[in-house]
Amino acid sequence: MTKTFFKPALWGAFVLTNLASFVGTGLGLGFILNAAWDQDPRVAYAVAFLISSMIQALLSGFWMQASDRIEGTLRRMLWLSLGLSMTLLSATLATGFWTWTLGLDEEVARVRTAQSATTVTGPLRDFADRYAQISTGFDDLSVTMIERRQTEYDNGDSCDGPAVQTGPGPRTRLADRLQGEAATRRDIAQALADDAFDMAVVPAGADDAMLRTLLRDADALTRDRRARDLRGWANGLVAQFEGEFTDPSTGAVFTCPSSAVVTDLRAIVAMIDAPPGLPTVSPIATEDGLDTAVRSSFRQSWQILGWLALGWDEPDQDILDVTGPAVGFALTNEALIILCAILLGLLRGRQSPQAPGGNEMTPTQREETLARVTAWTVLYMPGRTPAFLVPVGGKPEATRMAEAEVYRWRMPPLADEVAVDFAMQAPDAHAELQNLTGARRFRAYVVPRRATAWYRQAAVDLQDSLRSA
């Protein structure tokens, strides 16, 4: 009775999930065709739904064949790969439909506009960071002047060259004056940094006109009179430290050379003179439209596929954060189709003349996996930021294996690829690593999550394979 009820219910679920995918795929493709073709929208959507029906028929058929146990391993792998391809295509188009249905396309457009505006906001943030550093430089100069005044008062040697009479004098008054002037310049530089930080925020719903205004305002800020005044004050002070000062109190002319202060002031001037890096052409806002979400979905799907299969750059996380609910709807529906198709394929009653073979490792695969897992066991350093060590100057085979893993997983360097000898920090671990690899120094690389997951799963699979060998 249960079996009699289960199979019709399974067929019902299979039909309903396919129908939902058919509608989503058809409308998603229709959005693109309607935007790209200068045709009657009815023609675009008719073609879209015709293609959608073909996609759904192939998708379901491929998965049912892949679950048929009478098929050989190679043929089942073929059906599996074709089923995955159709699933990816269907899910991509359906994700665009769900993005529009859930009203997320406007948010996608806003994120795309903000990303387009990074040609302006990026240099603005760099400008803000630079002026924050300039502010710190003036603050350091102010503190230096306090220290120089005390040194001059006590010892008479705050300037380069021979010491002079101690106590109050033109040099102590100079330090007092410059301390206050440097503090004022510190506040001016920080105000410029704050203005740039505030300007680097792109408002929601920004259009082309707003982005043109943003570029114009950013260009004006980088040429602000306050920046010219800061440069002029610093350059004038350099000239005085390399030449002569005049004491405002007495009118006396005196010298106070200081190579250290001149070096600091020239560093500040160099930061002020650094080019802002703003674009000459204003960025373009992303318009709201039904095809925006679908096109974004295609880009994301290809990025995810390339990231998983070929190690390309990770997909756009900002867009994934926005379209997450739509991706969830589309993937859930596709997963239900796959589940129903597989169960229906298994329930067809055809049995293979042989028992399922499983996915046993061949001796060659087992040997290669053993070598890689052994290398990971030695060189993988778990922690908050998992690291993978590459021995420098050790056993050639150990170095070759480690470098191959770094290349395979595209691991970025943890530092500046500087070889580190951590014998003092972790003598026991270092001694064990030196014994196994023959190296005293190691380069550290950041381990991506997918590599960590592979290592853990490979270790389990290897144990299973060795037990059954």
Question: What DSSP letter does each residue of 427-461 carry, written as one string?
Answer: HHHHHHHHHHH--SEEEEEEPPHHHHHHHHHHHHH
Are both 74 and 197 inside the same structural domain?
Answer: no
- Say how far apart CA 86 and CA 64 lie, in whole Å: 13
- Phi, psi of 388, rounded to the nearest 5 degrees: -125, 130
pLDDT at 266: 95
Are both 236 and 146 inside the same structural domain?
Answer: yes
Provide the percentage of residues in the chain whose pLDDT is more than 90. 21
Last residue of a domain, one of 239, 273, 307: 273
CB 141 within 8 Å of CB 359: no
Are both 253 and 122 inside the same structural domain?
Answer: yes
Residue given tokens 């003036």 in the structure block: 138
Contacts of residues 267-275 at CB distance under 8 Å and 24 or more positions apart, as own/partner, are 267/137, 268/134, 268/137, 268/138, 268/141, 268/230, 268/234, 269/231, 269/234, 269/235, 269/238, 271/130, 271/131, 271/133, 271/134, 271/137, 272/134, 272/227, 272/230, 272/231, 272/234, 273/231, 274/130
Q: 436 in a domain, yes or no?
A: yes
pLDDT at 314: 58
CB 264 within 8 Å of CB 10: no
Question: At residue 350, does pLDDT exceed 50?
Answer: no
Confidence of residue 122 (pLDDT cuts 50, 70, 90): confident
User: Amino acid identity, residue 148?
Assistant: R
List helix spans (H) across 102-169.
105-116, 118-155
Are both 268 and 152 inside the same structural domain?
Answer: yes
Are both 269 and 310 inside the same structural domain?
Answer: no
Q: 231 in a domain, yes or no?
A: yes
Are both 269 and 317 inside the same structural domain?
Answer: no
Are both 264 and 123 inside the same structural domain?
Answer: yes
pLDDT at 302: 62
Average pLDDT, rounded, for the chain: 80
Are both 247 and 130 inside the same structural domain?
Answer: yes
Token couple for 164: 């002079």
pLDDT at 169: 92
- Say how far apart CA 85 and CA 89 lie, in whole Å: 6
Are both 92 and 126 inside the same structural domain?
Answer: no
Question: What DSSP letter does each residue of 224-284 carry, written as one string?
Answer: -HHHHHHHHHHHHHHHHHHS-EE-TTT--EE----HHHHHHHHHHHHHHHS-----SS---
- Phi, psi of 380, rounded to the nearest 5 degrees: -85, 130
Question: At residue 295, does pLDDT exceed 80?
Answer: no
Number of domains in the chain: 3
CB 290 within 8 Å of CB 34: yes
Question: At residue 306, does pLDDT exceed 60?
Answer: no
pLDDT at 353: 25
- Phi, psi of 53, rounded to the nearest 5 degrees: -65, -35
Q: Supply the DSSP symbol for 213.
A: H
Residue-number span of the structural domain to which 92 is assigned: 2-108+296-346
pLDDT at 81: 86
Reported as a single tens digit per residue, the pLDDT across 36-49 is 777 788 888 888 89
